[in-house]
Structure 1
Amino acid sequence: MKLIINKKTYSFKFGTKFVREIDARLPLEQEGIKFGFGLSAKVIPELQGTNVNTLSTVLLLGNLTEEDQVSQDILDDYIDSVEDIEGLFDEVMKELAESNAGKLAMRNLRESLKKAKN
């Protein structure tokens, strides 16, 4: 995924290294034990709930492995000023759903939501 921010193109990749960073920084914690389910238990539901803090964090971590690094401040300013914030959330969710690292988590979450509705 690529975004043009301040006339500069930044790349974002939601692969295994991204998931590793998510799990390290945003683990699921139960009874003092940390589990590596940050993507499926925290990030995806928060993105679906349009949490801009999570969006900024996801973009920052998705950019960590790329050549041109973007700062949290630049991302925050971009999110504050982007004209189609809903489209940005949709694009990130689409990229997560299409990546090998995010595909299964997205599918499992959708299936869990379907079961919960029935």
Structure 2
Amino acid sequence: MELTINDKQYTFTFGYRFIKELNKKNEVTERGMTLKAGLDNALMNFFSGDIETLVEMLKTANATENPRVSEKGIIEWIEENGVDALFDLVLEELKKSEFTKKKTLNFEKEVNKNLQ
């Protein structure tokens, strides 16, 4: 996914390294077992419409790319273009990536089921 922020083109990749970084931030160890809950936690907050989670997901997806976008740049993009469009863009990318597609589709299905 690409966004133009302050006249610069930035790439956001929701691949293996994205998952790995999320897991580093959301790892739970109990009784010698480690649960990698990065994407699960991010999706739970993402589907509830949490903007801070959206910004963190974008920062993580861009962390392996060049150039790197600042948090301030992402926030300015949201202020200029609206948050709904960005949630939609990120959701479509999460559904496309082989690394996030399955969990994203399952979360979306559960959210839609609970709304009915």
TM-score grouping bracket, smaller chain normalisation: 0.7 to 0.9
Q: Secondary structure at the match of 1:100?
A: coil
1:45-98 per-residue CA deviation (whole Å, 9 max, x = no partner) reads 21111111001100000001112111222223332x133311110110110111
The 1:99–1:83 alpha-carbon spacing in structure 2 relative to 1, beyond 3 Å, is: same
Q: 1:83 aligns with which of 33, 57, 81?
A: 81
Aligned CA distance change for structure 1 residues 43 and 3 (closer, same or farther; 3 Å): same
Give the number of equivalent residue pairs. 115
Cα-Cα RMSD: 2.5
Residue 73 of structure 1: aligned partner: 72
Q: Secondary structure at the match of 2:81?
A: coil
4+ residue stretches of structure 1 with deviation over 3 A? 29-34, 110-118
Q: Taking every aligned residue pair, what percent have the same amino acid on both sides?
A: 29
Instruction: String of CA shifts for 1:20-68, please: whole Å, max 9, x gaps.
Output: 00110133x476975212112x111211111110011000000011121
Q: Corresponding residue for 2:38? A: 38
CA distance in structure 2 between the aligned counterparts of 1:117 and 1:34, rounded to whole angstroms? 32
